[in-house]
Chains A and B, each alone.
Chain A
Amino acid sequence: MNKKIAEAFADGKAFIPFVTCGDPSLDVTEQLVYAMAEAGADLIELGIPFSDPTAEGPVIQAANVRALSGGVTTDKIFDMVVRIRQKTDIPMVFMTYANVVYSYGTESFIAKAADIGMNGLILPDVPFEEKKEFDSVCKTYGLDLISLIAPTSHERITRIAKEAEGFVYCVSSLGVTGMRSAITTDIGAMVKLVKAAKNIPCAVGFGISTPQQAGEMAAKSDGAIVGSAIVKLCEKYGADCVPHVKEYVTAMKEGVLRG
């Protein structure tokens, strides 16, 4: 397991924000990372935009379009991470789609990501059955390939958890990413199944937007992941989003700690 990811969960409940790289620009993304780290984020998910993100709701889909229209590429994002790593050692993982990694050359991508100081990789379109071609390379370079479990996983949870690295990403609800007024899945039961199979942190994502929700989810797990609500702020405030996101992350981290 990547040591940095374990650190993210070492001080209790973790808050994990997501941003789409290059929305509205890579300079702003870089500033967002510093601001979120200062505001108490424990681990940051950097989204590498993909033209056709099938697991995303409208908010993050639109962010992908904005970022790609702005000319963001995987190589430019790698360069940004190099700059970020000179200033902060906060744990960071990439979240993108299989084709972005595969098309770059799976080994080249993973070697480069590890080399510049990334700690993990989330590929929402790579389930347990297909993970080997990515996971074997991740293990070689010391990057954690994060496993996801969903409300429909049921008996699959044990098998997935046994081989999980870093943390387990618990998808809170059916459907795609996006804010939800209520989460009805029995998260506690999912987390229990994971923990019975392996002692590994579980963080809950999909649908969380308020400090109260974050607290409730963190109370049943080891942390909360928030994407769309932050991306929504980037959309609303554009280049001026950094202080707004910082304020939001501060409130969410407090929510997580109360949970």
Chain B
Amino acid sequence: MTDGRFGVHGGQYIPETLMNAVLELEEAYLKYKDDPEFNKELEELLNEYAGRPSRLYYAAHMTEDLGGAKVYLKREDLNHTGSHKINNVLGQVLLAKKMGKTRVIAETGAGQHGVATATAAALMGMECEVFMGKEDTERQALNVYRMRLLGAKVHAVTSGTATLKDAVSETMREWTSRIEDTHYVLGSVMGPHPFPTIVRDFQAVISREIKAQMLEKEGRLPDAVLACVGGGSNAIGTFYNFIDDKDVQLIGCEAAGRGINTAETAATIATGRLGIFHGMKSYFCQDEYGQIAPVYSISAGLDYPGIGPEHANLYDTGRAQYVPVTDDEAVDAFEYLSRIEGIIPAIESAHAVAHARKIVPQMDKDQIVVITISGRGDKDCAAIARYRGEDIYE
């Protein structure tokens, strides 16, 4: 492993109290990451328990409707617990267990990562506590119940804006108070080194599979891969094995909320600037004095004021591009994919679908696009109904 830098981004900007914990984690990860026994165990969990490999589905109706490139969907929504989050969580909880930890803690935005962590903890017999912004516990009430059902304790975080960034802060605070028996299962490619690398490696299975499946189905690589980006874990998973394939466009879709010209946005690359927060140097939405901005998106999972350091570097080097997608566009895409393919995507993933609807018609019929559907949209139905003015409660 490197010094934890991606260009100028990354690093370990955390309190001294946590330093030995992240160093211990790095040491354990280096020990196990190429260990055949560990990888065999993890692969078995991913395949037999989580249902991998996930399907690469040819979206014939969408392709026909858009009239441009062929569209494939990488179906991470079909994984156990309904999103890509399980890939990282099974890896980290297994690693924590090897390290002798008996308790895991996690932050969650939409609840996907919290549910995945609670699931893995139930499976592997670990104690589990999840921190979730109070506002998110309300808009994702069903996931709160799910976590409790799985035996986790859920803390509603009321500090700050009571959303994902505050959940991360609170989980970091909890970790500084109890390190010995506790592993922090960070849910995205963010935070202090080694988390961005560990989470990326566990999510890289997405692009590893896309590549093999695409070669099998089409005999060639796709022209573009698209994924939504909050912290950026499903996006880095989708991009990683294509980084060296320069002909494959990498497109991350950020949550623009009500628009990048409004204060109600979470589009970090479009509106943020370089800063240091949550353990890493990267781009953040912030004011002129470095106060972190209270970001907004309809999607609780993308409602985060920063982006992972590897994405920040892929942006700096021009290898990946990042585009903003508004709430309205994402909700339209949520409904579009439901009707045209019979697949209800997570509102997060709908951001990537929305951007695909813009670019696919401009592409040639012999081109190929892959959209990662990072999660399923059952959790969002009530909120989207309310967005459309229907009074539905979970």
Which chain A residues have a beta carbon within 8 Å of chain B's beta carbons? 50-52, 54-55, 57-58, 61, 65, 68, 73-75, 97-104, 124-130, 148-154, 156, 160, 171, 174-176
Contact = CB atoms under 8 A, between A and B. Distances in A.
Contacts of B274: 102
A54 B277 CA distance: 9
Contact of A102 (B15, B173, B276, B278): B276
Given A68-B291, A73-B289, A174-B178, A99 B276 contact: yes
Contacts of A102: 274-276, 281, 290
A129 B289 CA distance: 25
Nearest to A102: B276
A98 B13 CA distance: 8
Contact of A128 (B19, B177, B178, B289): B19
B275 A125 contact: no
A65 B160 CA distance: 8
Contacts of A152: 16-21, 179
User: Which 5 residue pairs across A and B have the least CB separation, nearest first?
Assistant: A103-B290, A175-B177, A150-B17, A98-B276, A51-B291
Contacts of A129: 11-12, 19
Interface stretch (B119-127, B164-172, B308-316): B164-172
B277 A52 contact: yes
Given A51-B292, A52-B169, A174-B176, A125 B20 contact: no
A125 B281 CA distance: 12
B284 interface: yes
Contacts of A65: 160
Contacts of A150: 15-17, 19
A126 B13 contact: yes
Nearest to B169: A54
Interface residues of B, number: 37
B20 A153 contact: yes
B159 interface: yes
Contacts of A98: 13, 276
Interface string B259-303: 000000000000001111111010010101111100000000000
A100 B159 contact: no
Contacts of A57: 173
Contacts of B11: 129-130
7 contacts: A50-B291, A97-B276, A99-B276, A99-B286, A125-B13, A130-B13, A174-B178
| Most interface-central of B16, B160, B178 (chain A CB within 10 A) | B16
Interface of B: 11-21, 159-160, 165-166, 169, 172-173, 176-179, 273-279, 281, 284, 286, 288-292
Contacts of B179: 152, 174
A181 to B, nearest CB: 15
Contact of B15 (A54, A58, A154, A156): A54
A153 B166 contact: no
Residues of B contacting A: mostly: mixed
Nearest to A151: B17
A54 B20 contact: no
B172 A54 contact: yes
Nearest to A125: B13
A176 B15 CA distance: 10
A64 B169 CA distance: 14
B9 to A, nearest CB: 13
B4 to A, nearest CB: 9
Nearest to B11: A130
Given A52-B166, A102-B276, A175-B176, A130 B290 contact: no
Contacts of B172: 54
A151 B276 CA distance: 25
Contact of B12 (A75, A130, A160): A130
Given A52-B160, A52-B277, A100 B17 contact: no
B305 to A, nearest CB: 9
A177 B350 CA distance: 41
A157 to B, nearest CB: 10
Nearest to A171: B17
Contact of B20 (A68, A148, A156): A156
A136 to B, nearest CB: 16
A127 B16 contact: yes
A151 B178 CA distance: 12
Contacts of A52: 160, 165-166, 169, 277-278, 292
B16 A171 contact: yes
A167 to B, nearest CB: 15
A98 B17 CA distance: 16
Contact of B17 (A51, A68, A174): A174
A92 B176 CA distance: 27
Contacts of A100: 289-291
A115 to B, nearest CB: 18
Given A55-B176, A176-B173, A176-B177, A148 B16 contact: yes
Max chain A C-beta neighbours (<10 A), residue from B12, B17, B165: B17
A205 to B, nearest CB: 12
A26 B290 CA distance: 19
B284 A99 contact: yes
A50 B291 CA distance: 6
B291 A149 contact: no
Nearest to B158: A58
A159 B382 CA distance: 55
A103 B289 contact: yes
